[in-house]
């Protein structure tokens, strides 16, 4: 099976369409989504509808949860809060229902899928360091775990002796029979923060046990113009062209 794993779309329709076009060119069997379909961008309904059509599995992210329960924006900064308040008013009931039914954790074919962390996935903790990644390896048992949430691509490997290390490359092959495991952040489709404004997602070939990243250019100015029209905070608009 060849899987495409996408995450953190954040209602950025141009980015999602560009990534789906790239997926169509890459002989993908199934698309898996790690959540945060909404929040920040101007097209929450269109993005929810596309994800529900195209993805076999979708996980709930913290912005999806916040659109359903405004109280969970307590930990949000002011920009995220403004964006989610607009999103709540905009979302159609059927799309809110779709978000509401999403799980925070799923395992398919030996792959663990979460938005934030395998440890307490509904608490929206972050994995930002090797130490946090090492802790999280204890909380899933499959060879592969995919996450999103930080919007920063990251590959952490655990070898058969249980040592963890950062893989700085854009791909990884797991030696499954040698007992090695990987925890991979696939980066963000709709709001990358690693100083590369191109959309990030990953492709995992479960037969070859190989993962690699894809970066896809999209019409950022079009997205920004839509955000300006609905008066999203300038900071959220500007960060897209800088990828931060
Ligand atoms: Zn996010």
> What ranges do the domains of the chain cover?
2-242
Using the mean position of ligand 1's atoms as its centre, give its distance from the Cα of residue 42 in Å: 15
Expressed in angstroms and rounded, the spacing between residue 185 Cα and the centre of ligand 1 is 12
**Cα-to-centroid distance, 7 and ligand 1 (Å):** 8
For residue 151, report the distance from its CA to the centre of ligand 1, in Å: 6
Q: How far is the CA of 188 from the centre of ligand 1 (A)?
A: 7
Q: 237 vs 131, 189, 241, CA distance in Å?
A: 33, 15, 8
Strand-pairing partners, residue 204, are 3, 211
- Residue 140, sorted as left (phi over 0), alpha (psi -120 to 50) or beta, turns out to be beta
- pLDDT for 69: 86
pLDDT of residue 73: 81
The pLDDT mean for the chain works out to: 96
How many angstroms separate the alpha carbon of residue 152 from the centre of ligand 1? 10
Going from the Cα of 8 to the center of ligand 1, the distance in angstroms, rounded, reads 4
Which tens digit of pLDDT belongs to each residue from 27-46?
A: 999 999 999 999 999 999 99
Task: Write down the pLDDT at residue 179.
Answer: 83
Right CATH for 2-242 from 3.40.50.720, 3.30.700.30, 3.40.50.970, 3.60.21.10: 3.60.21.10
Ligand 1 centroid distance, CA of 142 (Å): 24
Q: How far is the CA of 36 from the centre of ligand 1 (A)?
A: 5
pLDDT at 236: 97
Average pLDDT over residues 75-93: 94
Confidence of residue 72 (pLDDT cuts 50, 70, 90): confident
User: Measured in angstroms, how far is the CA atom of residue 177 from the centroid of ligand 1?
Assistant: 34
Residue 191, pLDDT score: 98
Q: Give the separation between CA 86 and CA 2, rounded to whole angstroms.
A: 36
User: Ligand 1 centre from 191 Cα, in Å?
Assistant: 8
CA of 117 to the centre of ligand 1 (A): 13
Distance 160 CA to ligand 1 centre (A): 32
Task: Report how far ligand 1's centroid is from the alpha carbon of 12 (Å).
Answer: 12
Task: Give residue 167 CA to ligand 1 midpoint distance, Å.
Answer: 22
Q: What is the mean predicted confidence (pLDDT) over 109-133?
A: 96
CB distance 12 to 45 below 8 Å: no
Residue 71: pLDDT above 70?
no
pLDDT tens digits for range 171-205: 999 887 778 999 999 999 999 999 999 999 999 99
- For the chain, the first-to-last Cα distance in angstroms comes to 33
Burial of 162 from C-beta contacts in 10 A (0-12 / 13-18 / 19+)? exposed
Instruction: Please identify which residue in the block is written with the tokens 């899933």.
Output: 140
121 CA distance to ligand 1 middle (Å): 14
Q: Following DSSP, what letter does each residue of the chain receive, concatenated?
A: -EEEEE---TT-HHHHHHHHHHHHTTT-SEEEE-S--SSSSS-HHHHHHHHHHHEEEE---HHHHHHH-GGGGTTS-HHHHHHHHHHHHH--HHHHHHHHT--SEEEETTEEEESS-SSSGGG-----SHHHHHHHHTT--SSEEEE-SS---EEEEE-TTS-EEEE-SSEEE--GGGT-EEEEE---SSS--SS--SEEEEEEETTTTEEEEEEE---HHHHHHHHHHTT--HHHHHHHHHT-
């Amino acid at each position: 099976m060849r899987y495409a794993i996408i995450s953190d779309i954040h209602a950025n329709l141009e980015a999602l369409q560009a990534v789906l076009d790239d997926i169509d060119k890459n002989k993908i069997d199934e698309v898996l989504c790690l959540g945060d379909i909404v929040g920040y961008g101007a097209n929450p309904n269109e993005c929810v509808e596309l994800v529900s059509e195209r993805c076999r599995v979708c996980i709930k992210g913290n912005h999806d949860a916040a659109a359903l329960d405004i109280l969970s924006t307590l930990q949000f900064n002011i920009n995220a809060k403004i964006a989610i308040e607009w999103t709540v008013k905009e979302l159609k009931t059927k799309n809110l229902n779709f978000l509401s039914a999403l799980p925070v954790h799923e395992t398919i074919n030996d792959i663990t899928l979460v938005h934030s962390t395998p440890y307490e996935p509904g608490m929206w903790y972050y994995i930002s360091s090797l130490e946090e990644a090492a802790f999280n390896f204890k909380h899933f048992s499959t060879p592969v775990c995919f996450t999103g949430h930080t919007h920063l691509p990251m590959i952490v490997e655990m070898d058969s002796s249980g040592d963890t290390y950062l893989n700085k490359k854009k791909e990884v092959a797991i030696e499954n029979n040698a007992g090695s495991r990987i925890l991979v952040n696939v980066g963000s489709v709709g709001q990358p923060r690693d100083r590369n404004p191109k959309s990030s997602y990953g492709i995992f070939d479960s037969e070859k046990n190989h993962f690699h990243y894809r970066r896809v250019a999209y019409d950022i100015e079009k997205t920004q113009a839509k955000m300006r029209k609905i008066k999203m905070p300038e900071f959220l608009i500007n960060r897209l062209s800088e990828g931060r």
